Amino acid sequence: MKQLVIFGNTYQQGNIDKVLSVLEHLRGSGFSIAVERGYLDFLSNGQPWQWPSFDTSRVPEADMALSLGGDGTFLTTVMWVSRMGMPILGINTGHLGYLTAGHLDEESDLIDDVLAGNYRIEERTMLQVKCDAVEIPHPWALNEIAILRHDTSSMLDMETRLRTRELTTYRGDGLIVSTPTGSTAYNMSVGGPILEPTTSCLVLSPISPHSLTMRPLVVRDDSEIVVRTYSRTSQYEVSIDGEVALCPTGSTLTISRAPYCARVVQRESNNFASTLRKKLLWGTDQR
| Residues assigned a catalytic role | 71
Report d(CA 175, CA 181) in Å as an integer. Answer: 17
Residue 36 and residue 81: Cα distance in Å, rounded? 12
User: DSSP readout, 65-110?
Assistant: EEEEESHHHHHHHHHHHGGGT--EEEEE-SS--TTSSEEGGGHHHH
Residue 248: count of CB within 10 angstroms of its CB: 15
**Residue burial 57-70, b: 16+ Cβ < 10 Å; e: rest:** eebeebebbbbbbb
The dihedral built from the CA positions of residue 153, 131, 127 and 210, taken in this order, carries a sign that is positive
Helices vs. strands in the chain: H and E counts, helices first: 6, 20
Q: Which of 192, 199, 193 is CA-nearest to residue 220?
A: 199
Torsion of CA 25, 26, 28, 30, to 10 degrees: 160
Strand partners, 235: 248
Asked if 261 contacts 197 with a C-beta cutoff of 8 angstroms, the reply is no
DSSP state of 208: S
Amino acid at 44: S
With contact defined as beta carbons under 8 Å apart, do 260 and 85 qualify?
A: yes
Q: Is 14 exposed, middle or buried (0-12, 13-18, 19+ CB in 10 A)?
A: exposed
